[in-house]
Structure 1
Amino acid sequence: MDGFPQRIVCLTEEPTEVLYALGEQGRIVGISGFTVRPPRARKEKPKVSAFTSAKIGEILKLEPDLAIGFSDIQADIARELIKAGVEVWISNHRSVDGILAYIRRLGAMVGAHDKAEAYAQRAEAHIAQIRAAASALARRPRVYFEEWDEPIITGIRWVAELIGIAGGQDAFPELAREPLARQRILADGGEVVRRAPDIILGSWCGKRFRPEKVAARPGWEAIPAVRDGAVYEVKSPIILQPGPAALFDGLAEIHRIIAAWAAQR
């Protein structure tokens, strides 16, 4: 026993990914059913939660000394666990800097400060590398990111920031600052037409993005991205979790798309 949490339940994917990356996966006793990174976690750990619901009884049987979740959406789960005597940490970060701070904070919480610092610095080096590559692009395309389709929800802050790092310009920067999904609903899809993005990226949480459905929306044929066939899916596990996946694979994928677009101009 080292005085740090020994039996951790991860209610979302990002703490699982971080703890595995730090070599601290032995502390995890339960994970989210949505966890896909790292793949081995699904084989090794019991799945005890979704995103807005959890098997409270199953979690308590695991006798956790810490449960880690994310955002106000998991407030009800946190309340039930706290009432049952479980210590809970709900992070609420929404930015690239917030993700980096999260890695460092989580590492410190399990006594792995040095490993977490090294991992965060790896992420920062990757970000710097992509930023430098993006600075060499001749043009910075306007990029519209869609998080959901019915209703239309635009991208959250860390996604908008990653678009900027990767060489693009987020089409809805004023909405990206809004932390809650309901605050980023577009009442009028025609606003996307008016902003004329060069690239459309989609990641519909929990279901496959359908470029043909986007292109078929009334009036959207006038959008440069639709006209030029620049409508792409970014898989949700690498972009919609505020954790390492977004900083590494998500950023790399967005930059790949933007760089390919710029090379054709």
Structure 2
Amino acid sequence: MKKWKQYVMLLVFILTFGFLFGCNGENTNKEPAKKEEPKTEQAAFPVTVKDGLGEDVTIQSEPKKIVSLIPSNTEIAYALGLGDKIVGVSDFDNYPEDVKNKEKIGGLEFNVEKVISLKPDLVLAHASSAHNSKDGLQQLRDAGIAVLVVYDAKTFDDVYHSIELIGKATGTADKAQEIIQNMKTKLEAIKEKAKQIKEEDQAKVWVEISPAPEIYTAGKGTFIDEMLQAISAKNVAGDLEGWPMVTEEKAVAYKPDVIITTYGGAKQVLDRPAWKDVPAVKNKRVYDVNTDLVSRPGPRLIEGVEELAKTIYPDIFK
């Protein structure tokens, strides 16, 4: 139970505060960094890339040992074929299975000394938490370790750019483009299938990422909102920004046809007295989905879209 609570805290921290920092930081109303056109050629070293904080980062030679500070970066690295080079991951990493064999470097606050002791050539950090770990990241740089802060991605295009960035920094640019193209192809196929759903038949969906007393949902500018649009479903909280906290009264007033929880809370929602007249509850259309698939900005986001599609429209997406 303690580990579950820590995981929920991590998710809400990344989704909520990462979003706030992205909006209120030094780069207000700007993308984290200028996005370059995709390049398919393999990167030569040394290579300089612009990271998620807009800083130029130079990697002198192809990294042999990599530490990842956040699960999404780890998943991207493994998809790029870099699993054997990963020597350290966060306490929250759980995919792929091989991460269980890697050294753990901490949770919300990583262990600087532990990271340095692993002697990595490259550390993959993340913009959502970089503001809170500025001193620690600087210690790594002072120790001669290249630190790449990956974008705080909020859209599929942002995720593609994150994959491209890590690919270029690690000499796997061609593989990165292959992954990106595969994701785009699958997403377009899902969108095409969803076109058969008429507007009047589109399900009104409430997505709950954290339960009472602090109920959080997904508004516009999030992966989940983009996913729902892709499958022709309506996000009832789509008029809100980012990952807002919503009162129970307001959530009930949305009267959703389908309720999705990302923390395993379907039964809890069904048992709430105040929700008994909500269409989704009355019709028992309350479901749990894998939070990692719909919240981690990596290659498995497409699996998240597929899971939402099959859950909301089982007759169409079989």
- TM-score by length of structure 2 reads 0.73
Partner of 1:217: 272
Distance in 1, Cα, partners of 2:239 & 2:130: 25
Partner of 2:306: 252
Distance in 1, Cα, partners of 2:262 & 2:225: 13
Structure 1 window deviating more from structure 2 (57-66 vs 78-87): it is: 78-87
5+ residue gaps, structure 2: 1-43, 46-60
Distance 1:223 1:154, change over 3 A: same
Distance 1:155 1:72, change over 3 A: same
Partner of 1:47: 104
Q: What is the letter of the counterpart of residue 73 of structure 1?
A: S
Matched residue SS, 2:179: helix
| Alpha-carbon offset, residue 78 of structure 1 | 4.3
Partner of 1:75: 131
Partner of 1:134: 194
- Following superposition of structure 1 onto structure 2, how do residues 19-98 of structure 1 map, counting pairs within 5 Å? 19-43=77-101, 45-50=102-107, 52-84=108-140, 85=142, 86-90=145-149, 91-98=151-158
Report if aligned partners of 1:31, 1:47 keep a CA contact under 8 Å in 2.
Answer: yes
Matched residue SS, 1:54: coil
Partner of 2:165: 105
Distance in 2, Cα, partners of 1:119 & 1:262: 26
Matched residue SS, 2:132: helix
| Alpha-carbon offset, residue 74 of structure 1 | 4.6
Deviations 1:187-218 (A, max 9, x none): x21112221111111113xxxx2222212334
Q: What is the letter of the counterpart of residue 249 of structure 2?
A: G
Distance in 1, Cα, partners of 2:239 & 2:203: 17
Match of 2:251 among 189, 192, 216: 192
Distance in 1, Cα, partners of 2:157 & 2:305: 14
| Alpha-carbon offset, residue 163 of structure 1 | 1.4
Distance in 2, Cα, partners of 1:244 & 1:108: 16
Q: What is the letter of the counterpart of residue 63 of structure 1?
A: K
Q: What is the letter of the counterpart of residue 49 of structure 1?
A: G
Matched residue SS, 1:88: strand
Partner of 2:208: 146
Deviations 1:30-71 (A, max 9, x none): 11222222112222x212122x12222111101223222234
| Alpha-carbon offset, residue 23 of structure 1 | 1.3
Deviations 1:211-253 (A, max 9, x none): 2221233421121111111111111222221111222x21110
Partner of 1:169: 234
Larger % of helix: which?
1
Q: What is the letter of the counterpart of residue 21 of structure 1?
A: A
Matched residue SS, 1:260: coil
Distance in 2, Cα, partners of 1:117 & 1:72: 24
Distance in 1, Cα, partners of 2:293 & 2:228: 14
- Following superposition of structure 1 onto structure 2, how do residues 195-206 of structure 1 map, counting pairs within 5 Å? 195-204=254-263
Partner of 1:239: 294
Distance in 2, Cα, partners of 1:132 & 1:120: 18
Structure 1 window deviating more from structure 2 (188-197 vs 118-127): it is: 188-197
Distance in 2, Cα, partners of 1:72 & 1:14: 12
Distance in 2, Cα, partners of 1:171 & 1:129: 24
C-alpha RMSD over aligned residues:
2.1
- TM-score by length of structure 1 reads 0.87
Distance in 2, Cα, partners of 1:151 & 1:136: 37
5+ residue gaps, structure 1: none
